[in-house]
Amino acid sequence: MATEAATTQPWHVPEPSPWPIVGTAAALSLAFGLIWFMHAGVPWLVSFGGILLAITMVGWFKDVIGEANDGKSHSSAVKTGLRVGFLMFILSEVMFFFAFFWAYFHSSLPILSNVAGPWPPEGIDALGPAGVPMLNTLLLLTSSLTVTVAHHAILEGERQKVVLWTGITVILGVLFLGVQIAEYGHLVFGLSDGIYPSTFYLATGFHGFHVFVGTVFLIVCYFRARNGHFTRDAHIGFEAAAWYWHFVDVVWIFLYINVYWWGSSEFGHRLVG
């Protein structure tokens, strides 16, 4: 009876995997390595953590793709659980960015803090919304459109269209990262130059890291689309990548409005002055 119930239940029980503990070790190495690097300039631990994280992603992605393509692991109940789980993950990411936004406003608005002063502080030349930030906004908004087109192409069964528009989205993500790196190279303030640079780099840099992760996610989807892994009824991996990408876009809109536009505007100066 127990054996029969085990074979007819709709849930997928994965085989024992090394990747959770390896990923944990990678995250721990990255966390301590970044602290060590920023304080003492020692790069080996953060490099080790980055390599370990890359190995984890490759191994784990390979296992998950194998489960998605075996025709039995992803039942209807499992698909629902994967969707709910990924939405909860995005919700946890929302809380992460909420902390950064709270630090930004707590440091700039007197209504939230009795130590808030002029914003940006004296001597800080804040970057305005025009130019590079506007270009990056256009790149991300366009990429949100292209990934949506690719998603609809999956539902329509147009494989070549999926490949094309997913590839375009990847290119736009890479362009965004390149533009942001160039922006950082031209800024005249550093991470340790005060509360404004700290909150600016943490918020925009952490968002940039999410764009990098989302781009890697979409690159995997691009090659999976080329290999015909996605169908109208089975494309959970692409759905997750598209949701994550839209989340990254929404966070950038908040960053653009509050950090680049409000943070450098005369209105913002009057409000906090």
In tens, the pLDDT along 104-128 reads 887 777 665 555 566 777 767 777 7
Q: Which of 145, 164, 161, 144 is nearest to 153 (CA)?
A: 161
CA distances from 104 to 128, 185, 188, 211, 253 (A): 16, 22, 19, 21, 15
**107 with 196: CB under 8 angstroms?**
yes
| CA–CA separation, 79 and 61 (whole Å) | 17
What six digits make up the tokens of 151?
A: 């998603």
What six digits make up the tokens of 167?
A: 């590839």
Other beta carbons within 10 angstroms of residue 252's beta carbon come to 23
pLDDT of residue 107: 77
| CA–CA separation, 189 and 175 (whole Å) | 23
- Banded model confidence at residue 2, pLDDT cuts 50, 70, 90: very low
pLDDT in tens, 193-228: 777 888 888 889 999 999 999 999 999 999 999 998
Q: Which residues, 6+ apart, have CB-to-CB distance to 246 below 8 Å?
A: 144, 147
pLDDT averaged over every residue in the chain? 85
What six digits make up the tokens of 268?
A: 């913002």
Domains (ranges, CATH) in the chain? Answer: 1-73 (1.10.287.70), 75-272 (1.20.120.80)
pLDDT of residue 5: 45
pTM, two decimals, is 0.84
Q: Report the interhelical angle of 76-108 vs 195-226 (nearest 10°).
A: 160
